[in-house]
Amino acid sequence: MSDVLKEYPVEQVHRWYHRLADAVLARKVDGNDPLSGQFLKKYLENRSRTATYTFTPPVYFRSSAEVVQALRFHRRVFLTEERARLGGGLRWAGLIPRLKDGRWDGQSRLSLHYESLVEYGGTPIDIARIQLRGTPAEQDLFTSLRGFQLRSDIAVTGAAQGSQVLVTFQSWQAVGIDTYDFNFDEYLTMPNPDYQSQDGDAIRPDLQSFRVFHTNAQRMETANLAQPYGVRVGPWPVADPNVTGRALIDPNKRLP
């Protein structure tokens, strides 16, 4: 199938992408502008390749099962209950190694951070479930933040309790981190936001949909009408007691 957008001046293509973003934004998700539409709009407005933009994390993102599961995993890593995924491998991290080697005295305030990949729709079964049963919120997360890094920044204090240490999470901030950019070799098919439009700027209003080749994103970037950027969704304070609740750790725990 031919590249419809290629036939039009890049400025007009840029305006078409804006109308595509508007079509996405036309449907609110739990009262919010969908992230996928916000991200595309920002891409079309951005002129700096080194820019990073912060987006307000909607409740449906912060409370999504994938984010909650990842935060609970982060907790287990901080408490040295589960090995961290680091540098392509698994190894013990968090508080107990720091107690063992003296980097933490078990009492004073200690700051740590950890991040891991979170995926929405990681398997065909997941994708089918999101398509069939997924709320618009899940579908928005699936298409906007399909795979991203979730970072936790924490501060803890400790108190001796017998041979163990009672850990209190004094603060916990989480943020989703991603990059909004296109692979110029790829394409997909999208509904045409200009379908049946009478506007003189409309592109192929006779077509209900056509293939969108990402080489057109490349054209816009070359003309500096759009640029990729860093995405930060958040930070937000984590308050889930299953994540931030106090815990006992054993400084003498064997770490095979």
Partner 1 sequence: MRALLGTVLPLSIVFCVLLSAPASQAGQAALPMRSWDQILEADLFTGFERVIEQEAAERVYTYFLTDPAGTPVLSILVALSPAGTHLTEAGHASATRGLAPEVLARDFPDFGARARVEAPFFSPSGGLTGLVFTTSDLLFDVRVSVFEASSDVDRPALTALEAARIVEDAYLATFE
Residues of the shown chain interacting with partner 1 in the complex, contacts defined by CB under 8 A: 1, 20-21, 23-24, 27, 34, 36-37, 39-40, 121, 124, 127-128, 130-132, 139-140, 142-144, 146-147, 180-183, 185-191, 193, 195-198, 208-211, 214, 217
Nearer to partner 1, 20 or 154 (CB): 20
Nearer to partner 1, 131 or 252 (CB): 131
DSSP string, 56-93: ---HHHHT-HHHHHHHHHHHHHHTTSS-EEETTEEE--
SS3 call for 21:
helix
Q: Give dist(CA 111, CA 57) in Å, integer.
A: 23
Helix then strand then coil, % of the chain, to nearest 5? 35, 30, 35
Structure token pair of residue 101: 């080697």
In angstroms, give the least distance from the CB of 56 to partner 1.
18
Nearer to partner 1, 182 or 236 (CB): 182
In angstroms, give the least distance from the CB of 3 to partner 1.
12
> Which residues partner with 186 through β-bridges?
none
In angstroms, give the least distance from the CB of 68 to partner 1.
22
In angstroms, give the least distance from the CB of 174 to partner 1.
22
